[in-house]
Amino acid sequence: MDCIFCKIVNGDIPSYTIYEDDIVKVFLDIEPMSPGHTLIIPKKHYNNLEDIDMDTLNHINKIAKEIYTLLKEKLNIDGMSIVQNNGCVQDVLHYHMHIKPYYNENKGMSVEEVFNILKNE
């Protein structure tokens, strides 16, 4: 399979992973729309919303809530969007959820800076 997200899950491609468990991997987007733009992907390959099971989907939503709290506490975000694309608007054919933080003022942080802030426990 030539899926970039499966390669990230398998460790073939490095990622700025901020959370991981048996079901999901959560990492920073390397081309973020804003500092802290995060992707949540299931470790098992699902193409899109049509074929993902409800248990995995519910777990992803639970983790999204936890990531929101993390971003709010560590990056002082002022808002957040959750986006999940399907069909012709889906860039990678592996189910994934975008967590896109918003700020009242431009933070201008690099992915590395955000990663270091989030991983600094």
The pLDDT value recorded for residue 121 is 57
Asked if 96 is an active-site residue, the reply is yes
pLDDT of residue 101: 96
Which neighbouring-strand residues pair with 39?
Answer: 27, 98
CA-closest candidate to residue 52, choices 83, 28, 91, 86: 86
State how far the Cα of 72 lies from the Cα of 56, in Å rounded to an integer: 24
**pLDDT tens-digit map of 41-100:** 999 999 999 999 999 999 999 999 999 999 999 999 999 999 999 999 999 999 999 999
Q: Which of 45, 59, 94, 96 is catalytic?
A: 96
- Residue pair 93/47 in contact by the 8 Å Cβ criterion: yes
DSSP character string of 2-62: --HHHHHHHTSS---EEEE-SSEEEEE-SS-SSTT-EEEEESS---STTT--HHHHHHHHH
Residue 35 and residue 21: Cα distance in Å, rounded? 23
pTM: 0.93
Distance CA 78, CA 81 (A): 11
Domains and CATH numbers, the chain: 4-119 (3.30.428.10)
Mean pLDDT across the stretch 21-27?
A: 98
